[in-house]
Amino acid sequence: MARTALVTGGSRGVGQGVARALVADGWTVYVTSRRGSGPDGTIALACDHADDDAVAGVFETIGRDADGLDLLVNNAWASPEGFGGFSDTFWERPVDDWDTLIGVGLRAHYVASVHAARLMVPRGRGLIASISSFGSRGHLHSVLYGMSKAALDKMAFDMGHDLDGTGVTAVSLWLGLIRTELLLSLGIDEFAGFSLQRAEDPEFVGRVISALADDPALADHNGRTLVTAELGAGYGITNNDGTPPDSHREAFGGGPLFPPDGGPARAIS
């Protein structure tokens, strides 16, 4: 059966690796980027995710040209203007940092999810996966970054409530340290105390998402926050070099994820 996916922000970094992995696994993959570029084998659409009409246009195109939508990977992200890193305190940064870190890093994910659900629910199947991080639990990068990621976890949980029984599943994914081209170009062995040798390749994340979408027990995860490294271990998925990446759960306090009292939705064997 043909499977169709949309990866937002798919021209570089995590999104690019996810799109490549999905293409390799036989998916028809649409990607969005501001310039309309994407990796080989994908259908690239120009989209500014701060523009609701542009986002609606992407889903209109998919609805017209594809036989439905089976997977949405919410990955679009935008850095604030003049942003050079996460070293400044929140009171040293302009208040309009909100417009990118929340307006795109959170709101755009909600808008895309609305349109995806409108395509998926009538067909009775689909996965909406939002790229979150351990910044939901511990301080990571900045106040607004942490706010946006924590909100994605709650968004998936509440969407899961509304989607219950529809055949569509919503999840939030905690990625660990990612071996992007930019990070590897720095020539370092570790970042923020985490080993690059045990970090995640962007393609690893894509293979995990593909396996999750095809899992017969996908509905058991509805509304949950999941750790990609742990999912990968359960599915027998490794990095490009064959190594299994580390979960950062214990480094960020251990225990269950979101919802806080729910524990893992299902042990993967």
Active-site positions? Answer: 145
The DSSP string of 200-229 is: B-HHHHHHHHHHHHH-TTGGGGTT-EEEHH
Judge whether 44 and 37 are in contact, CB under 8 Å. Answer: yes
- Cα separation of 10 and 32, whole Å? 6
> For 68, left (φ over 0), alpha (ψ -120 to 50), or beta?
left
Helices and strands counted in the chain (H then E)? 8, 9
> Which residue carries 């969407």 as its tokens?
159
Dihedral (C-alpha) 198, 203, 207, 212: value to the nearest 10 degrees? 80
Collapsed DSSP state (helix, strand, coil) of residue 241:
coil
- Cα separation of 235 and 229, whole Å? 10
Collapsed DSSP state (helix, strand, coil) of residue 214:
helix
Query: Shortest CA distance to 153 belongs to which of 215, 206, 223, 214?
Result: 223
Query: Shortest CA distance to 71 belongs to which of 24, 119, 32?
Result: 119
